[in-house]
Amino acid sequence: MRLDPAGWPFVGIAGAAALIAFFWHPAIAVIPAVLLLFCINFFRDPNRTPPEDPALLISPADGRVIRADASRVSIFMNVFDVHVCRAPAAGRIRGIEHVAGRFLAAMRDDASEQNERTTIELETERGAVRFTLVAGLIARRIVCRAKPGQSVRTGERVGIIRFGSRVDVDLPDGVAPAVAIGQRVVAGETPIAGAARPR
């Protein structure tokens, strides 16, 4: 199983603790062993196959849709979801902005404006596409590996948010959401928008 590089320190520490605890007393090894399994599950990084239609915007995160309207699609990730984030479309990264902020519960509407976040702006064939990685109540670090000027493919990995968070995708003009609130989506695979809005 592939793990995101950000997870190796956590997996290593939990694994060492489980091993030491097992030799000390097998019964007490249960707690670090559970922590080890949690870390492996949290930092897993499965391969994904994006749809071939370049007109679609693809989910940048695994999780549940908590907003879907004419301007934005927001996806909430709980601690059991894959937290590796991906580009929703192919294009060139025009800019990246990191904003320090609070750590409100990521499901709150005001988390998008108040929490620590990193916004990535893509220049695509359809125009600018902005998506924002938002830290949550437990998530305390956004690891963004994308760089300004870099070209990315649809579904390409751009970073990871640690321990619960959300991703907001601002929809370009003329694009309608293709998901509904409460729907589960898969990063790099589920179309979240793409059809023209009805006039």
Query: Closest by alpha carbon to 108, among 134, 142, 79, 129?
Result: 134
What fold does the segment set 57-196 form as a domain?
A: Glucose Permease (Domain IIA) (2.70.70)
CA–CA separation, 192 vs 31, rounded Å?
A: 39
The 10s digit of each residue's pLDDT in 111-152 is 677 678 899 999 988 788 999 998 876 656 788 899 999 999
| Bridge partner residues of 121 (DSSP) | 95, 130
With a pLDDT cut of 90, the percent of the chain lying above it is: 44
195 in helix, strand or coil? Answer: strand
The 10s digit of each residue's pLDDT in 43-71 is 899 999 999 888 899 999 999 999 999 88
Query: Residue 164 — left, alpha, or beta (φ > 0 → left; ψ -120 to 50 → alpha)?
Result: left
Query: Residue 40 — left, alpha, or beta (φ > 0 → left; ψ -120 to 50 → alpha)?
Result: alpha
Would you please indicate which residues are annotated as catalytic (active-site) residues?
165
